[in-house]
Amino acid sequence: MSGPTTLYYFPGRGRAEQIRLALAEAGIEFVEGGGNLGELRTDGTATFGSLPILKHEGVKLAQGCACALYIAEKYGFAGSTVEEKALVNQFVLAAEDLRGPVVSLYWFKKGTKEEFMEGTSP
């Protein structure tokens, strides 16, 4: 037996949210296994030394997009033609591309947020 489906990530949405959404769409119950990143690196769970990590039916995957696309493919909503698969990949990867600028807004100094939104930030 491979145990319950486990999603390792920090508390909060972040890079694991696409995986959570894919698991919900597939109707898969899962447990959150945040844990200590240092321990996950030491015991080999953190394949690339980072999170998120998904364990599902004996498969362990790292990287948010790879995990979300794996669930979509396994449970039949990744598209049935090459064109449909490309569209699904496009949206999964676009969400990843958007995450950086959105998250970085939190770290901007006062005044630079407006510059960023106007496209004038360096």
Beta strand pairing call for 53-56 and 6-8: antiparallel
Distance in Å from the first CA to the final CA of the chain = 52
Domain boundaries, the chain: 6-118
pLDDT at 4: 92
Q: Which residue has the tokens 């145990």?
A: 3
pTM of the model: 0.76
Indicate whether 104 pLDDT > 80: no
Indicate whether 75 pLDDT > 60: yes
C-alpha distances in angstroms, 58 versus 1, 4, 39?
8, 10, 20
Q: Does domain 6-118 have CATH number 3.30.110.30?
A: no
- Residues, the chain, total? 122
> Are the beta carbons of 19 and 7 closer than 8 angstroms?
yes
Residue 29 identity (one-letter amino acid)? E
Tokens of 82: 């090459």
Segment (H or E) for 6: strand 6-8
